[in-house]
C-alpha cells in the first residue's frame, strides 16, 4: 500500500469516527428532548367557530398530537367525550377543547314532553334564551263576540332544552311578509304542552319572557291574565278614589 492509499484509508476511518460521534451526539440530544417534553398525546382542536350552547359534532374537531407536558390536565383527548355535550360559551376555531368548555345538554325529566314552536325573533327575546333557560310563555288572543281581547301567561317558568338557528318564513297572516323566527324546544308537562300547542294554533301572537334567576317558579294567578278594559276600569276607579 503506497503512502497515498494509506492517507486515504486514514481519512475514511476519521470520517467514519466523526460520523459516529455526530450520530451519538444527535441521538443524545433527541433523547434529552424527548425526556424533557414527554411522549406525544392527542388533543382536540376546533376547526370552526361554535356558538354557545350548540352541540359539538366530532366532525368540527381535529386530533393533533402534542408533547404531554404542553397539554393541560383538563384537555379533551377523545371525541367520545363530546357525546351529549354543548359548548358552554362561544368557542373560536383553533381552540383546544378543555373539560370546562363543554356542558351537558339539557334532557327531558320523567313525565315531561318535548315540544317545539317557532317564536318570532323580534318578540321572543332573540339571542337571550339558551338551553336550560326559564321563560314565561305569553299568548295574546283577539276579541271574539262578547269575549274581549286578552293576554295570558299560559305557562310559567317553562324550561328550554334547545334553541335552533334563526330562519326566515313567509307569514301568511301578513300577506306573505318574510318574518324571522327561531325554533325553541321546551320540556313541559302534558297539560302545559297542550296549552302551548293551542296557543301556537289560535293565538294572535306568542311571546317569551326570560325569568330572572331565583324567581318563584309560579306566577301569581292575578298576574297571569291581562284585559285592557278591566285595567282601564280599575285605573279609572283608582283615579276617582284619589281625587279630593
Mean pLDDT throughout 136-140? 92
How far apart are alpha carbons 136 and 131 in whole angstroms?
A: 14
pLDDT (tens digit per residue) in 187-211: 999 999 999 999 989 998 888 988 8
Query: Considering only 32-46, 70-84, 86-100, 192-206, which range has the smallest mean pLDDT?
Result: 32-46
How far apart are alpha carbons 199 and 207 in whole angstroms?
A: 10
Which range, 4-8, 23-27, 73-77, 219-223, is most confident? 73-77
Predicted confidence band of residue 34 (pLDDT cuts 50, 70, 90): low
How far apart are alpha carbons 37 and 71 in whole angstroms?
A: 10
Which residue is associated with the grid cell 320523567?
110
Please say if the pLDDT value at position 2 is more than 80.
no
pLDDT score, position 172: 59
Please say if the pLDDT value at position 238 is more than 60.
no
Q: Can you give the pTM of this predicted structure?
A: 0.62
Mean pLDDT throughout 173-199? 85
pLDDT score, position 32: 66
Of 242 and 2, which is predicted with more confidence? Answer: 2
Q: Minimal CA–CA distance to 159: which of 139, 183, 131, 180?
A: 131
Please say if the pLDDT value at position 239 is more than 70.
no
Amino acid at each position: 500500500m503506497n503512502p497515498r492509499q494509506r492517507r486515504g484509508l486514514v481519512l475514511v476511518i476519521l470520517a467514519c469516527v466523526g460520523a459516529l460521534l455526530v450520530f451519538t451526539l444527535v441521538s443524545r440530544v433527541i433523547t434529552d428532548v424527548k425526556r424533557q417534553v414527554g411522549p406525544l398525546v392527542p388533543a382536540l382542536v376546533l376547526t370552526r367557530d361554535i356558538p354557545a350552547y350548540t352541540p359539538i359534532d366530532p366532525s368540527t374537531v381535529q386530533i393533533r398530537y402534542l408533547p404531554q407536558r404542553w397539554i393541560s390536565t383538563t384537555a379533551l383527548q377523545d371525541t367520545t367525550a363530546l357525546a351529549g355535550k354543548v359548548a358552554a360559551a362561544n368557542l373560536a376555531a383553533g381552540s383546544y377543547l378543555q373539560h370546562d368548555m363543554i356542558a351537558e345538554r339539557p334532557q327531558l325529566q320523567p313525565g315531561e314532553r318535548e315540544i317545539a314552536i317557532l317564536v318570532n325573533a323580534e318578540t321572543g327575546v332573540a339571542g337571550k334564551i339558551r338551553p336550560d333557560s326559564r321563560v314565561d310563555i305569553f299568548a295574546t288572543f283577539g276579541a271574539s263576540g262578547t269575549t274581549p281581547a286578552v293576554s295570558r301567561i299560559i305557562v310559567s317558568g317553562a324550561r328550554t332544552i334547545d334553541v335552533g338557528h334563526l330562519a326566515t318564513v313567509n307569514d301568511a297572516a301578513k300577506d306573505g311578509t318574510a318574518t324571522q323566527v327561531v325554533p325553541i324546544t321546551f320540556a313541559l308537562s302534558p297539560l302545559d304542552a297542550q296549552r302551548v300547542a293551542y296557543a301556537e294554533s289560535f293565538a294572535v301572537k306568542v311571546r317569551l319572557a326570560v325569568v330572572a334567576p331565583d324567581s318563584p317558579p309560579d306566577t301569581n294567578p292575578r298576574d297571569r291574565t291581562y284585559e285592557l278594559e278591566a285595567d282601564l276600569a280599575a285605573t279609572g276607579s283608582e283615579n276617582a278614589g284619589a281625587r279630593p
